[in-house]
A and B are shown apart, each in its own frame.
Chain A
Amino acid sequence: MSAVKRIRVPNRLAAVVRKPGGKTIAEAVAGAEANLEAIRDDCVAAVDAILAAMVELSTVLKAMPTPEHLSQLYDLSDEMIGVAAIANLPAVGHAAFSVCELVDAFTESGAFNWDAVAVHLNGLKLLRAMGDQLDEAAREQVLDGLRAVVRRVGAVEG
């Protein structure tokens, strides 16, 4: 049985938020949403820049699927998840999440499947290009297809 020390410390954040003034939850959320609305166009531009970087990386990745390159793909996808939602492109964010899952499957198995990456990049490009022109059912169909690819890669490699 290891020695365990319990330490009671004052919660500094609690002391700060209790001070007079401040915002209700609803006011805080409204304030943040207004601020995010102001940077929405920047986030749309960022989605395009990240997608371009992923496509550029993919040519290197196809030739040399090293752990470093896979890690770069993971980082770009992770960034995309955060930005796409603010850009009002949630389906793009979901597809980026699927790329993260795919890279994890590769990393765990030590194997690599270029076709699975290519399908994801095509899915990302389609979801970005079509945007609102695709209805909810069509977007879900694309995303279901990407998830199925990840499951298949995980099953085969695992």
Chain B
Amino acid sequence: MTDLAPAPDSDAAPVPAAAPASPAPSSGPRPRYNLENAKVLLVEPNQHGLEILAQIFSGFGVRSPLRAANAEEAMAIVKKTELDLIVCEAQLEGTDGYDFIHWLRRSKIEPNTYTAAIIISGHTQMSKVQKARDCGANFIVAKPLTPKVMIDRVVWVARENRAFIECDTYLGPDRRFHSIGPPPNTEGRRADDLPLEVGDAVEPNLSQDDIDAMMQPKRKSK
């Protein structure tokens, strides 16, 4: 990914690059998403904000979302319940949402340390989005929340297949989202980063027949 791609729309700012909205309509039956038995933890310090979140997820079908008003309560739940999704407000009293997700990723409490995490925030200026990306969240969604944006992000997170990256300074979903290589004007930090300069070919190009033979191998007749 470019380290920070523009938001796909005005309501949601991605931690990774632009996420697709809900699946494109097709002529077949519309996909269904079963959140009935999903263990979802909602972390929000304000009573009304928590109620709004709970009503949204209840409307999505989640039977009994778990609720926490601060990071300490959330940590206690993480330690005793296997979770499928965490939705966490950035502004929490004491330990904030970013530090909570950072703690989660470094906690080594399996499987929760790898649980999908969405940060929500009323005020998503660039520095906050970068903070959300770097703390190990899967996504940041801007308030005000709308059910459409929220379900799109939940579905997107459910469909994503990013590896987790662990290094000295980061543990979380791979932030290089678009596979466009290392950031511009850098050589890259990973052993498998390829150099930007491409050298001259060392062998002659294959002919189309050679390529066809490789792509569609046929048994040789005896």
Contacts and interface: CB of A to CB of B under 8 A. Distances in A.
A79 B122 contact: yes
Interface stretch (A35-43, A119-127, A141-149): A35-43
Given A28-B61, A42-B51, A75-B91, A16 B189 contact: no
B51 A29 contact: no
B56 to A, nearest CB: 4
Interface stretch (B110-118, B197-205, B210-218): B110-118
A55 interface: no
B222 to A, nearest CB: 44
A2 B34 contact: no
A11 B145 contact: no
Interface string A19-40: 1111111101111111110110
B13 to A, nearest CB: 14
Interface in B32-64: 32-38, 45-46, 48-49, 51-52, 55-61
Given A5-B165, A32-B60, A81-B122, A14 B52 contact: no
Given A2-B189, A13-B116, A22 B34 contact: yes
Interface residues of A, number: 57
A24 to B, nearest CB: 4
Contact of B48 (A7, A33, A78, A83): A83
A43 B48 contact: yes
Contact of B52 (A21, A34, A36, A80): A36
Nearest to B40: A13
Contacts of B148: 25, 29
B contact residues, range:
35 or more
Most chain B CB inside 10 Å of its own CB: which residue of A14, A25, A90, A104: A25
Nearest to A45: B48
Contacts of B32: 21-24
B111 A82 contact: no
Contacts, number: 197
Interface string A78-101: 111111111000100100110011
Given A42-B51, A83-B49, A28 B33 contact: yes
Given A28-B147, A39-B51, A22 B33 contact: yes
A22 B145 contact: no
B60 A31 contact: yes
Interface in B80-132: 82-85, 91, 111, 114-116, 121-123, 125
Interface of A: 1-9, 11-14, 16-26, 28-36, 38-39, 42-43, 46, 74-75, 77-86, 90, 93, 96-97, 100-101, 104
Interface of B: 22-23, 30-38, 45-46, 48-49, 51-52, 55-61, 82-85, 91, 111, 114-116, 121-123, 125, 143-148, 150-152, 154-155, 157-161, 163-169, 174, 188-191
